[in-house]
Structure 1
Amino acid sequence: MKRNGKSVFFIVAILLVAFTVVTFMGISTQWGDTKTVYIKGADDIRWGIDIRGGVDVTFAPPADTEGITNEQMDAAEAIIKQRLISQNITDSDVYTDYNKHKVIVRFPWPADETDFDAQAAIASLGETAQLTFREGKEVDSSTGLPTGTTESNIILTGSDVVSAKAGYQQTDSNKTPEYVVSLELTSEGATKFSEATGRLAGTGSISIWMDDTMISAPTVNTQITDGKAIISGSFTAESATELANKINGGALPFKLETTSYSTISPTLGTQARDAMVVAGIIAFALVCVFMIALYRLPGAVACIALMGQIALSVAAVSGFFAPFPSFTLTLPGIAGIILGIGMGVDANILTATRIREELDNGKSLDGAITTGYKRGFTAVFDGNITVILIAVVLMGAFGPPDSIFATILKPIFFMFGSATEGTIYSFGYTLIVGIIGNFIMGVTASRVMLRSLSKFKCFRNPKLYGGAK
């Protein structure tokens, strides 16, 4: 048991070093002009407009389209926002000009863009959105795509929908109005919908998909025969409007065309970004020297843990974790990573100081380590949980409308506009990832490694932990 305890340090340290190397380098193979990426690295990060620049594009219906309504323009905007969100592009701006029937979009270059071809970047958004109503809500957990019956059984398409409107109705149970989305179908769509709802009434659900993203999955309560359906649930006025816009977007009588586009110069630039990276490396080295000089062995362990925390932050934005695509990293996002690292340094300093105090009070080495982490964790937890709450509020108030934080908090913070949502959301995201990494690396991993090292006879001297001889 004692021998196994000693090996823990080497296992954890090797895993952290390997994770860091793979996170920054990635794993890929090159065969001729074809590159196959197995694990994404730092090069796969999608940098924000402020760092790498991007594209400014205007979408509009064909010139000969008549009778365009504001509701249809809202639906067109919803299409583009859905496409951006599905690609995890948060540093974007989408505006609608109702007078000229145009949608103006600003978004950053893709991570793998080398030719900076604006037309190729625009093509990633697509020209039209495909709306489908499918039986059930079976989703592949790894890809998010429909599977099983949901994949094979399409009940309705966008051409079967006449319109979708957000509204509210009186409920029979408590007489309190609730927000709903009402659907009106074509005669052919009403026939197909009647058959499906009759078959699934009381036992199943019909999911609604925009392209390959499920946007809703209401349960079928009764058979609907007249082509007029009501989608109810825990809607707010805003979420009901968003769902209606998305459904209308898939049923638009026109397709969106690119009328103009231009490239956007970065306000910061990749050279400044590279300089920030070099400065970060130097700062990390200086912090390590300070930690080791002042706190000795706990400081050395803290440096290994901080390295793992930095790697975890990079992995969370590069697309290292397969279910999550590359995240758009902006300048405020980098600030969030730095602040998270600062919280990690603070956590290790608190713990190392507690261990030294316990040794000075006459406790044994093992008792000082155990008590030091236990007492230090209280202060670390309080400080970190407060920052997490702030990050959640930022992500909810300024995040994309379909994100989990925005869904929960948007009704509370509805007064915030969307002009800064990309940059603020990026800051909140990297900050919360950094704090989570602090709990994993700065609290858990460092404790495991230090306890393992303390089992070696050569590391039993209290002076190595900052205590008296």
Structure 2
Amino acid sequence: MNRYPFWKYCLILVTVVVGFLYALPNIYSPDPAVQISGSSAALEITQRDIDKAEAVLKELGIDYFGVEFDKSNGLLRLRERDDQLAAQRKIQEALGGDFVVAVNLAPTTPDWLLNLGASPMKLGLDLAGGVHFLMEVDTPKVLAEEIENTEEFINKHIRKERLRGVAVRAKAGVITVTTETDELRTQITGMFRKDLPELQYERVDEAGKYLIRAQFSEAYIREKEDYAVTQNLTTLRNRVNEIGVAEPLVQRQGRNRIVVELPGIQDTARAKAIIGKTANLEFRLEANASTLASQREKYPQRDEQKQRLYGDASVEKRPIVTGQNVTNAQVGYDPDTSLPQVNITMDSQGGSAMHRKTRDNVGRRMAVLFIEYKTHTKRTLDENGDEKIIYSQIPESSIISLATIQSALGKSFRITGLENPQSASELALLLRAGALAAPMGFVEERTIGPSLGAENIALGVKSVQLGLIMVLIFMLVYYRVFGFAANIALSLNLVLLIAIMSLFGATLTLPGIAGIVLTVGMAVDANVLIFSRIKEELANGVPPQSAIKAGFERAFETILDANVTTFIVAIILYAIGSGSVKGFAVTLAIGIVTSMFTAIVGTRAIVNLIYGNRRVEKLWI
């Protein structure tokens, strides 16, 4: 009586062993490190690059160890976390803009645990600290492009209406239209009122000419800036989600800046490479004899061999569609050549534009122009002698594909001519995440400590320890042998909770610690209900073995009801809560599942081992 079958004991034992294995990596503290990667997927890390980085560390007198690298990443582990920023800055200067150098926390989990899929639990910024990026959106470029498009629209109207004696010039955000007669000026202003209501203009007579000076209204400028920042904010969030950064903070700051905060244990070099990359595609027709000189541009080809053979390619200035029209992009392989390609799907507007243009230009070549803005850093001294950092965005454009249009294209087509699978994967990721509405550069990068302070974090951990110890003592004193069984189950509950959070990549935050404290209380509450029921049965004269069975079985429904309702609350908190609330909800939900298992199944297994299958005259409870 009151014994589990052998298979059930085996199941519990396996669960406990697996729990310990997957919780074990959390005892290994990560090392502060500096990570090096290429600014593009095609750039490989070599021994020479690592040697340069090591030379910098030796020059700075920074103690380091555990140098490791492969083709895509290099990692130098440091002794002190305070040395990370100084090392990162100097190594970046030494390697140049072709590399991304970022601070990181390198795991120290043994290989045998990693081979089992066991890794440390992720910690939120408030516990582990992390990296803070402040990025600035180049809103003046957005307005400059809008001015250029408006200038082109006015010129098209002039050509369409065949107006003579009209000149259009745009400079410093002001569009100036010069006409030879007042009647022409009146006609142009009529077009402004009808088609360009966002422009504010004035009529000026100057040197026998009739002028219109127009510029965007302040409200329109603010609207375009807000759109650019909002679009970039959405794109950044998508990119962070694509690379799997846990518990990130991506939010707007001020008029044209965005803050990105990433937990310290993430691959921040990879994150910085993807987040900081302002890249887009433009599909343009190759220029031909009928293309005006003012409407053509030359770009180098991305493939070095093609560049040597054919040189720069001349393409039309105005694109057919851009990466902003892309709704999906996936990596594939050309069935004929087995080379990597990107399969693209466009929105209806982009698909229609592509179809019209290619339908009318079968036989001409179409270029896929890849435009990337790289952040360049310049350090100078201000009037006070303090170091001043100036960031600038330098565009680098190249043609990745130049192919003949065989037939009219639609919403779906493919891009070939990519260097390797890594380049194809990176391009697909950037296109899936969405195009940036404006170039964007890093204004500030720094490591951040725990947001609530090391003292508060230590107190939070201490509260868990003290709470657990007091509960263990109370259960042992008040319930004796049964309390001993409950204490073992409670300890296993914490191990399983940490193991599940580690296994599924959940992030522990300071509110999550509060969830652990609550889980301890809930697990004990379940045991108290069971033990109280056993006492009631014994008081009613029920034999000890029957009292044990009745206590566990009759208290089960009450425990289940209480935990299910709490679990539903945890799901609601996770669904509608912000980052810190979600951290609490995740810990609470996992804790409910583990406490149900340990309080009911685990505790009863221990009690069965002690009292089961033998005659018992008295229970120590």
* TM-score when normalising by structure 1: 0.61
State the one-letter code of the partner of 2:569: I
1:338 corresponds in structure 2 to: 517
Q: How far apart are the structure 2 equivalents of 1:456 and 1:272?
A: 50
Q: 1:316 to 1:337 in 2, by over 3 A?
A: same
Q: 1:389 to 1:7 in 2, by over 3 A?
A: closer
Given candidates 121, 124, 127, the residue that maps to 1:51 is 127
Given candidates 159, 172, 184, the residue that maps to 2:350 is 184
Residue 396 in structure 1 maps to residue 591 in structure 2: no
Given candidates 249, 252, 258, the residue that maps to 1:93 is 249
Comparing 340-349 with 283-292, greater Cα deviation is found at: 283-292
Instruction: Report runs of 4+ in structure 1 exceeding 6 Å deviation.
Output: 1-4, 118-121, 129-132, 151-155, 189-192
Q: Structure 1 unaligned segments of length 5 or more: list them.
A: 113-117, 136-144, 165-181, 193-223, 229-245, 399-420
1:109 corresponds in structure 2 to: 264
Q: How far apart are the structure 2 equivalents of 1:387 and 1:297?
A: 29
State the one-letter code of the partner of 2:141: T
> What's the CA shift string for 1:286-318, capped at 9, x where partnerless?
32222122223322222222122211222233x
Residue 380 in structure 1 maps to residue 575 in structure 2: no
Query: How much does 1:279 deviate?
Result: 4.4
The answer to whether the Cα contact below 8 Å between 2:231 and 2:437 also exists between their aligned partners in 1 is: no
Q: 1:51 to 1:447 in 2, by over 3 A?
A: same
3-state DSSP of counterpart to 1:260 = strand
Q: Highest relative contact order (Cα 8 Å, sep 6+), 1 or 2? A: 1
The answer to whether the Cα contact below 8 Å between 2:232 and 2:437 also exists between their aligned partners in 1 is: no
Q: 1:279 to 1:20 in 2, by over 3 A?
A: farther
Q: 1:153 to 1:445 in 2, by over 3 A?
A: farther
3-state DSSP of counterpart to 2:542 = coil
The answer to whether the Cα contact below 8 Å between 1:134 and 1:154 also exists between their aligned partners in 2 is: no
Q: 1:251 to 1:186 in 2, by over 3 A?
A: farther
The answer to whether the Cα contact below 8 Å between 2:276 and 2:442 also exists between their aligned partners in 1 is: no
Query: How much does 1:265 deviate?
Result: 3.7
Residue 453 in structure 1 maps to residue 610 in structure 2: yes
Q: 1:190 to 1:361 in 2, by over 3 A?
A: farther
State the one-letter code of the partner of 2:580: T
Alignment of structure 1 residues 10-29 onto 2, 5 Å:
12=12, 16=16, 19-20=19-20, 22-25=22-25
Q: How far apart are the structure 2 equivalents of 1:300 and 1:45?
A: 29
3-state DSSP of counterpart to 1:462 = coil
Q: How far apart are the structure 2 equivalents of 1:314 and 1:251?
A: 39
Query: How much does 1:346 deviate?
Result: 0.4
Q: Larger % of strand: which?
A: 2
Residue 443 in structure 1 maps to residue 609 in structure 2: no
State the one-letter code of the partner of 1:257: G
Q: How far apart are the structure 2 equivalents of 1:435 and 1:80?
A: 34
Alignment of structure 1 residues 270-309 onto 2, 5 Å:
270=454, 272-309=456-493
> What's the CA shift string for 1:167-217, capped at 9, x where partnerless?
xxxxxxxxxxxxxxx66337558999xxxxxxxxxxxxxxxxxxxxxxxxx
Number of aligned residues = 350
Comparing 256-265 with 332-341, greater Cα deviation is found at: 256-265
The answer to whether the Cα contact below 8 Å between 1:187 and 1:227 also exists between their aligned partners in 2 is: no
State the one-letter code of the partner of 2:522: M
State the one-letter code of the partner of 1:427: F
2:530 corresponds in structure 1 to: 351
Q: How far apart are the structure 1 equivalents of 2:255 and 2:470?
A: 57
Query: How much does 1:73 deviate?
Result: 3.1
Residue 77 in structure 1 maps to residue 77 in structure 2: no
Query: How much does 1:371 deviate?
Result: 1.7
Residue 463 in structure 1 maps to residue 613 in structure 2: no
Alignment of structure 1 residues 305-316 onto 2, 5 Å:
305-316=489-500
Q: 1:88 to 1:361 in 2, by over 3 A?
A: farther
2:328 corresponds in structure 1 to: 133
Q: How far apart are the structure 2 equivalents of 1:332 and 1:391?
A: 13
1:362 corresponds in structure 2 to: 541
Identical counterparts, % of pairs: 25
Two-structure CA RMSD over aligned residues (Å): 4.5
Q: Structure 2 unaligned segments of length 5 or more: list them.
A: 32-64, 69-107, 146-223, 281-325, 359-407, 413-429
Q: How far apart are the structure 2 equivalents of 1:365 and 1:25?
A: 42
